[in-house]
């Protein structure tokens, strides 16, 4: 689907569907909705609002046929004006796109939010663009009957010159972000039967948009990443270490983003029960977010040097698998006693974080489907965030909020580390279920010397059983929007 913006009246753009809007309780629409109402003999105010009692509740869509032309006007409810925000613009647009009649090929929309609501035209346009493209998403490659929408063109109409100029930038950014999001969803939804370290690495080489180096098992061994290798040693698939680099001319800052890349997490010898294992192809959601963020960064071209890092492997039980009680020496020299082979993500990240720190970046962010405990704490509503630098954490939460994603800070009190004490090694990889998200954070922090670091735990938000407010089931690609926004704001 093509999304674009035209500096014209909504009535002067040829389309099968015209989308206008209405705040809850408004009886006589103003702005563009008012213009459309007048043009069609007050059909919106007299018929839709007065007779049909359309109230403009958020997400309600009234579909009004224009008899002589065969076109339709959709009146989209914006809900309570006080509660209206940017995320709602995206959710609403996605819903409209999902619910547009099959035959409609060309749709024209009002720039929701930039009228009486007085929101920033650029951000409104970005949200509409993201919603429109997100609304077309479905993972249907293995279905004979495709569910994708037939809409070919989604046009935003904005006649005001100043608003148009700002909104145009929002559309361009929105296209880049939304493509990154949908590509990450495709990667995550893909079966692990086809998506394993080698194919993930190949995807990165072909699609990250930046210089990508892939290291094989021998090379990983030479770099001393024994913790990472231990996790992957039970699989028939060889582990791969992926390093993507975006290097602008004169970077004002250097950062590394590190994604957990377990292409399937069976739990290892501490095998997961069936219900928990079912969706574990999503355990590379962090890696997918990193690859697709790199692609977006290569297009947005900020003056920030960005390294994308992934230690990709599969966590399987087998005769060669790593075992509870094994002691492994990580890249930093720190030794890990394996307490539970299912706490594998942190073991791979220990080496990936050390590799990132060796690059002498100013900041490291990791993103990982790390703990069931984080999912228990925050549900699917918010992702966890921790780290060693409160200022950066606050900045990240604020950037994420603007991008329409929610992060909630979890504590890193020293006491959470007590359970990780080992009798035979420097640390155990886990010490029980209580406070598990924080304990995992403490574990990770012990592999970073002094670089500012943020840890994102997306275990609860990466993959959904029930459709979210954008109508997305399965992979959400959580983190992509926040990472892009955060990095853009460093500029």
Minimum Å gap between C-beta 343 and ligand BES is 4
Determine the residue with CB nearest ligand BES: 372
Instruction: State yes or no: residue 91 binds Mn ion (CB under 5 A).
Output: no
- Taking residues 227 to 266 in sequence order and writing x for each that binds Zn ion by CB under 5 A, - otherwise, the string is -----------------------------------x--x-
CA 240/CA 198 separation, integer angstroms: 6
Q: How far is CA 221 from the centre of its chain?
A: 32
For residues 212 and 341, which CB has a smaller minimum distance to Mn ion in the complex?
341
361 binds, among Mn ion, Zn ion, ligand BES, none (CB under 5 to 8 A by kind): none
Instruction: State yes or no: residue 345 binds Zn ion (CB under 5 A).
Output: yes
Site for Mn ion in 213-272 (CB under 5 A): 265
Minimum Å gap between C-beta 101 and ligand BES is 37
Active site positions, annotated: 272, 346
The size of the interface with Zn ion (CB under 5 A), counted in residues, is: 4
For residues 127 and 330, which CB has a smaller minimum distance to Mn ion in the complex?
330
**Helix, strand, or coil (residue 58):** coil
For residues 186 and 314, which CB has a smaller minimum distance to Zn ion in the complex?
314
**Contact by Cβ (8 Å): 271, 317:** yes
CA 68/CA 74 separation, integer angstroms: 16
Is residue 145 classed exposed, middle or buried when 0-12, 13-18 and 19+ CB atoms within 10 A define those classes? exposed
CA 82/CA 59 separation, integer angstroms: 15
375 binds, among Zn ion, Mn ion, ligand BES, none (CB under 5 to 8 A by kind): ligand BES
For residues 157 and 459, which CB has a smaller minimum distance to ligand BES in the complex?
459
Binding positions for ligand BES, rule: CB under 6 A: 265, 283, 340, 342-345, 369-373, 375, 430, 436, 459
Minimum Å gap between C-beta 71 and Mn ion is 53
Minimum Å gap between C-beta 465 and ligand BES is 11
* Binding window for Mn ion (CB under 5 A); candidates: 87-95, 138-146, 334-342, 428-436: 334-342
Minimum Å gap between C-beta 262 and Zn ion is 5
Instruction: State yes or no: residue 283 binds Zn ion (CB under 5 A).
Output: yes
Q: What does the DSSP assignment read for 325-358? A: T-EEE-TTS-EEE-S-TT--HHHHHHHHHHHHHH
What one-character DSSP code corresponds to residue 44?
I
CA 262/CA 196 separation, integer angstroms: 8
Radius of gyration of the chain measured on its C-alpha atoms: 24
Report CA-CA distances (Å) from 141 to 158, 181, 286: 36, 17, 22
CA 370/CA 181 separation, integer angstroms: 20
For the beta carbon of residue 158, count every other beta carbon within 10 angstroms.
Answer: 27
Identify the CA nearest to 342 among candidates 279, 262, 269, 239: 269
Alpha helices in 79-146 (DSSP H): 86-98, 121-135
CA 487/CA 180 separation, integer angstroms: 14
**Helix, strand, or coil (residue 83):** helix
From candidates 342, 357, 363, 457, binder to Mn ion by CB under 5 A? 342
For residues 211 and 421, which CB has a smaller minimum distance to ligand BES in the complex?
421
Minimum Å gap between C-beta 239 and Zn ion is 14
**Contact by Cβ (8 Å): 271, 344:** no
CA 360/CA 338 separation, integer angstroms: 29
For residues 345 and 404, which CB has a smaller minimum distance to Mn ion in the complex?
345
Minimum Å gap between C-beta 482 and Mn ion is 24
For residues 432 and 471, which CB has a smaller minimum distance to ligand BES in the complex?
432
What one-character DSSP code corresponds to residue 421?
-
For residues 75 and 439, which CB has a smaller minimum distance to ligand BES in the complex?
439
Determine the residue with CB nearest Mn ion: 342
Tokens coding 62? 């009234």
Minimum Å gap between C-beta 283 and Zn ion is 4
Report CA-CA distances (Å) from 122 to 162, 237, 253: 10, 45, 26
* Binding window for Zn ion (CB under 5 A); candidates: 127-135, 283-291, 406-414, 482-490: 283-291
Please report, as ranges, the residues that interact with Mn ion according to CB under 5 A.
265, 342, 344
Please report, as ranges, the residues that interact with Zn ion according to CB under 5 A.
262, 265, 283, 345
């Amino acid at each position: 689907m093509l999304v674009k913006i035209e500096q014209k009246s909504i009535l002067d753009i040829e389309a099968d569907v015209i989308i206008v809007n209405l705040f809850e309780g408004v009886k006589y629409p103003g702005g563009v909705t008012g213009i459309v109402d007048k043009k069609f003999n007050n059909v919106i105010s007299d018929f839709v609002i007065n007779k049909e009692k359309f109230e403009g509740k958020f997400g309600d869509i009234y579909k009004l046929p224009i008899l002589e032309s065969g076109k339709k006007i959709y009146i989209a409810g914006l809900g309570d004006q006080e509660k209206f925000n940017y995320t709602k613009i995206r959710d609403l647009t996605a819903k409209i796109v999902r619910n547009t009649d099959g035959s409609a090929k060309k749709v024209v929309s009002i720039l929701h939010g930039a009228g009486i609501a007085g929101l920033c035209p650029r951000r409104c346009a970005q949200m509409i663009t993201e919603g429109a493209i997100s609304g077309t998403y479905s993972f249907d490659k293995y279905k004979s009957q495709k569910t994708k929408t037939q809409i070919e063109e989604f046009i935003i109409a904005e006649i005001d010159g100043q608003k148009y100029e700002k909104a145009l930038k929002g559309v361009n950014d929105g296209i880049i972000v939304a493509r990154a999001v949908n590509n990450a969803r495709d990667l995550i939804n893909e079966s692990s039967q086809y998506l394993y370290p080698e194919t993930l690495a190949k995807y990165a080489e072909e699609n990250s948009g930046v210089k990508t180096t892939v290291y094989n098992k021998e090379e990983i061994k030479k770099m001393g990443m024994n913790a990472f290798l231990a996790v992957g040693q039970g699989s028939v698939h060889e582990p791969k270490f992926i390093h993507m680099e975006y290097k602008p001319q004169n970077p004002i800052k250097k950062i590394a983003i590190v994604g957990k890349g377990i292409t399937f997490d069976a739990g290892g010898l501490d095998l997961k029960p069936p219900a928990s294992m079912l969706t574990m192809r999503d355990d590379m959601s962090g890696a997918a977010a990193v690859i697709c963020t790199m692609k977006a960064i290569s297009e947005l071209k900020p003056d920030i040097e960005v390294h994308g890092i992934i230690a990709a492997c599969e966590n399987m039980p087998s005769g060669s698998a790593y075992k509870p009680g094994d002691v492994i020496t990580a890249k930093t020299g720190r030794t890990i006693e394996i307490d539970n082979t299912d706490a594998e993500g942190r073991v791979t990240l220990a080496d990936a974080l050390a590799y990132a720190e060796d690059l002498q970046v100013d900041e490291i962010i990791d993103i990982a489907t790390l703990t069931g405990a984080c999912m228990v704490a925050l549900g699917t509503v918010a992702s966890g965030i921790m780290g060693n630098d409160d200022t950066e954490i606050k900045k990240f939460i604020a950037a994420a909020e603007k991008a329409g994603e929610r992060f909630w800070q979890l504590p890193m009190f020293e006491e959470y580390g007590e359970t990780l004490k080992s009798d035979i090694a420097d640390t155990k990889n886990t010490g029980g279920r209580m406070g598990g998200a924080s304990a995992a954070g403490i574990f990770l922090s012990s592999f970073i010397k002094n670089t500012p670091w943020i840890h994102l735990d997306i275990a609860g938000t990466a993959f959904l059983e029930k459709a979210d407010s954008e109508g997305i089931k399965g992979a959400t690609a959580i983190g992509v929007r926040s990472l892009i926004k955060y990095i853009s704001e460093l500029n």
